[in-house]
Structure 1
Amino acid sequence: MDNLEYQRYHEAKNHTSAEFPYNTYLCSIPRDFTEVPLHWHDEMELVVIHKGRGRVSVNFQTETVFAGDIVMILPGQLHSISGLDTYAMEYENILFLPSMLISGAPDLCAENYILPLTKAELSADTFLTPARSYYPEISSCIREIDHLCSARPTGYQLAVKGWLFQFLFHLVCHQKEQTSFTRSQTKHLEKMKRILSYIEAHFSEPISVEKVAELTYYSKSHFMKFFKTYTGKGFTEYLNDYRLARAAEMLRATDLSLLEIAARSGFENLSYFNRMFKRKYGISPGKYRDIKSS
């Protein structure tokens, strides 16, 4: 697994195939990447923790997760994954488009349950731990799906859909009391998406705190507090981390010179780029390229 999977805040790439929009893959922190930054996408995502512990944030709710926990992330929800102290964490990412469970005809299941659930109009638990009364049922669904996707018997796609229906059935049966986002929380989410989209589009250009603060209609000082509250990092640190991740991507995928990569990732000074890169990855950009290309 490569952290290229997570270099886009709003992941526009297709994780799944058009014919069968379901995909699963294994990830490890910190072996594969140090963190998965805030992002969102159109698929529903399940994060299944296999070993260790870490931190997962979904729409600004952050929890420590342990082996056995399952995190359900709805389409469009901002989420991130990170390590915790010195612990490693191995987990499975499951991504699928809810549309794979919806027929083209008028569909009672879609209209009454699937669409309201994916739009958070039905309130289901996000962090599914063994303490939940229905945990054995939902974890069994995931085990069955994993087995099917590994063995791939003829027609396994039919059974995968069946188990996904079972999984959603248990969520709907045990939906909790509706706790809708406040108007203020919804605005904060939209502001954060606006910021992250701007960073993605303009990271190679000079970006000032004042310019990004304008996107939120906050003063500079208010914006700085807002950003650190919801990301855990100052804006400059966060921007540098994003630029360095994009630089690492270019080092792996292109033959561009270090000077060109530094410029394209938003660093005007090569020595500063080298210093920041080594601080983040522990090695120089040149050595990083050598290791990744060998």
Structure 2
Amino acid sequence: MAMRLCEGLPVERFAINHLISADGNYELPLLTSFPFTIKVFSYAESAQAFPLNWHERLELFIPVEGRGSFRMGERTLTFSAGDILVVDVKSFHGIHEFAGANPKAIVVTFLPELICTLGSLACDSQYLIPFYFQDELVEPVLRRTDRLSSLAHAALRKLVACYFGAAGGPHVEAGCKAYLLEVLYTLSLHFGFSEQAQAVVREQRRMAERLRKIHSWLRDHYAEKISVADAAALCYMSESRFMKVFKKATGSTFVHYLTQLRLTEAVRLLRETHLSIAEIAARVGFNDQSYFDRKFKEHFHATPVASRRHAVQ
């Protein structure tokens, strides 16, 4: 069952040392418009040790051949082909050992805002509970022998086929998100929700409701000049309280969130209008086109001109 997940797929030799910073942060760029990727790694000929690392991305580790152990903070978990590990990305983690004739694993990684962000429905936060509320007494692993394993693997097969089986575009992204949600829903059913986790979710919902006003306001006024103080006033909070609540509810600073909102609208205008780059920059709230170009490339790994050219091909 597990080996069929990666049949015919491109396989990379596991080598990530060059992507890990001095403080252990594993820096893997993802598209801002769809922060999601799947990699199939081979560990048989890895010339380097398996480095411990941390990152803000969420991650599922699915061994498809071989067996070994995986470090997550102070815990070391055994795994074998067909298991699904929900990685505790908040702590240092990584493979401890991986044995077999041809050890391979699929790694699914994505940013939390792909699933749940400021404007999401309250129920969307349930999908992320297995990542954020891991019980020390419960292994964050869906074993291949567990009752819901077949359902999770059925969803994984659809997810992998969708990601690798087409040329790209919005239909592929929509399919990947749908199948990813199916995987996450199955994991949520398997792990269940502790009262502590539910209490935190209720608190997140309460904070989201307080921030809903600013979310609605930004959709209509994102191009205007707006400071943190202005946003805090709309939510009847002090600046310090607003920044803390906003970061906790969205996983992002207000300035980063606003910039991302503006850049997302810029992408739409590049695709759907014939406005010049300078006109688009001004329309979405950037007074300096060179700064707009720099932030656009930083987020999308392409210039506005290249992005427009790609959209019309």
TM-aligned CA distance change 1:74 to 1:17, over 3 Å: farther
Letter in 2 for 1:165: L
**In structure 1, what residue type is equivalent to 2:144?**
P
* Residue 4 in structure 1 maps to residue 17 in structure 2: yes
Letter in 2 for 1:37: P
Matched residue, 2:108: 94
Compared with structure 1, are the counterparts of its residues 107 and 130 closer, same or farther at alpha carbon in structure 2 (3 Å cutoff)? same
Q: Give the Cα separation in 2 of the matches to 1:115 and 1:85.
A: 30
Tell me, which stretches of 5 or more residues in structure 1 are unaligned?
A: 181-294
Counterpart position of 1:171:
187
Q: Is the 8 A contact 2:130 2:140 kept in 1?
A: no
Task: State whether residues 70 and 96 of structure 2, in contact with CA within 8 Å, keep that contact through their aligned partners in structure 1.
Answer: yes
- The residue aligned with 1:157 is 173
Following superposition, the deviation at residue 76 of structure 1 comes to 1.4
Q: Which residue of 2 aligns with 1:38?
A: 52
Residue deviations 1:164-193 (CA, integer Å, cap 9, x gap): 11112112222257498xxxxxxxxxxxxx
Matches within 5 A, 1:126-205: 126-152=140-166, 154=169, 155-176=171-192, 178=194
Distance of aligned partners of 1:77 and 1:138 in 2 relative to their CA distance in 1, 3 Å threshold = farther
Question: Do the aligned partners of 1:125 and 1:175 also contact (CA within 8 Å) in 2?
Answer: no
> Are residue 118 (structure 1) and residue 134 (structure 2) matched?
no
Deviation string, structure 1 residues 89-115 (Cα, Å, up to 9, x no partner): 21112111121012542521234x135
Contact 2:65 2:80 in 1 (8 A): yes
The equivalent position to 2:75 in structure 1, one of 61, 72, 80, is: 61
Q: Does 2:23 match 1:19?
A: no
SS across alignment from 1:161: helix
Q: Which of 47, 58, 72 in structure 1 is aligned with 2:61?
A: 47
1:247 matched residue in structure 2: none
Q: Cα gap change, 1:162/1:104 in structure 2, threshold over 3 Å: closer, same or farther?
A: same
SS at structure 2 position matched to 1:37: coil
**Alignment TM-score, normalising by the size of structure 2:** 0.50
Q: 1:119 to 1:6 in 2, by over 3 A?
A: same
Query: Which of 83, 86, 98 pairs up with 2:97?
Result: 83
Distance 1:51 1:40, change over 3 A: same
SS in structure 2 of the partner of residue 114 of structure 1: helix
Equivalenced residue count is 179
Pairing of 1:225-244 with structure 2 (within 5 A) = none
Contact 2:66 2:100 survives alignment (8 Å): no
How many Å separate the matches in 2 of 1:91 and 1:137?
19
Evaluate the alpha carbon distance shift between residue 116 and residue 150 of structure 1 in structure 2; reply closer, same or farther with a 3 A threshold. Answer: closer
1:64 Cα shift?
2.5
CA distance in 2 between partners of 1:110 and 1:78 (Å):
26
**Cα distance in structure 2, aligned partners of 1:55 and 1:177:** 26
Q: Deviations over 1:37-85 (max 9, x none)?
A: 2211101111111111222112322123212122111431321103356
Q: Report the TM-score, using the length of structure 1 for normalisation.
A: 0.53
Amino acid at match of 2:16: N
Question: Alpha carbon RMSD of aligned pairs, Å?
Answer: 2.9
Distance in 2 (alpha carbons) for counterparts of 1:147 and 1:88: 22
Deviates more, 1:1-10 or 1:76-85: 1-10
Letter aligned with residue 175 of structure 1: F
Consecutive unaligned residues of structure 2, counting only runs of 5 or more, are: 1-12, 197-313
| One-letter amino acid matched to 2:75 | Q
